[in-house]
Amino acid sequence: MIGDVWVYDDSGTLVSETLEARLWYLDDNTHSTLLGVPPNWYYEVRWQSQPLGGEGGRSPTPGTWLLLADETGVAEGIAAARRAIGRQTVLVSRGDIWSVHEDRITMRAGNPEDYERLLLLVEQPAVIVHLWSLDSLRESNGGNLIGDGAVLGAESALQLLHGIQNAANASRPRLWLVTSSAQPVVQGDSCDAPWSAAVWGLGKALSTEHPELWGGLIDLAADAVPRERRSS
């Protein structure tokens, strides 16, 4: 295809203009033909299956865990498993106001001050697991999937990171970022949430720039996350 491409921002301002852009489809055998080099000159991501646990497995990190809880029940399952072995766990839900009730906190996802309040209230958490990205497909209901996915994913994760850095108690928890359907691992995997690639990009940068805070990135299979909300 040959055509002109204009890109505008949300306010309608022209950001870039590309005239006579040429687009064509490439298959796996095209790389060497296109640039005239052998296929083994290219890097590619290949996931390798590994057994769970075993000698390389890690025991649960001691101390309090903060779970930025999704509404599908994944965080609830983690909390139940930890409480069954006597591990302290705090569930943090999204809402319109700040509130605290025992081991459950409600905060405003778009309010930077609430992230700092969270880190001051729960002193020295050992681990923070960010699961809000799991709600992105369910929140939109046919609306702005990319916009909602960015708010629940990379934007809130970045504000959480700022809250950790600004916390007066100098907490250094391990931060885990959880997505779903963002990484096709085996043939047949769906990739229904490509906007979560921003979360993975943020995570990779975090692992390099702040290794003291780095826990890891987890992408759950589509069938591991319920599609319907759980009633409270």
Q: Which of 136, 129, 140, 161 is nearest to 150 (CA)?
A: 136
Q: Exposed e or buried b for every residue in 38-64, given b needs 16+ CB within 10 A?
A: eeeeeeeeeeeeeeeeeeeeeeeeeeb
pLDDT in tens, 134-163: 987 665 455 566 667 778 889 999 999 999
Q: Cα(90)–Cα(131) distance, rounded to whole angstroms?
A: 13
Query: Of residues 77 and 227, which shows the higher confidence score?
Result: 77
Q: With bands split at pLDDT 50, 70 and 90, how would you rate the model's confidence at 72?
A: confident
Q: With bands split at pLDDT 50, 70 and 90, how would you rate the model's confidence at 28?
A: low
Q: Under a CB-based contact definition with an 8 Å cutoff, are residues 109 and 148 in contact?
A: no
DSSP secondary-structure letter at 110?
A: T
Over 80: is that where the pLDDT of 171 sits?
Answer: no
* CATH of the domain spanning 62-224: 3.40.50.11460
DSSP secondary-structure letter at 229?
A: P
Q: Where in the chain is the domain with CATH 3.40.50.11460?
A: 62-224
pTM (predicted TM-score): 0.75
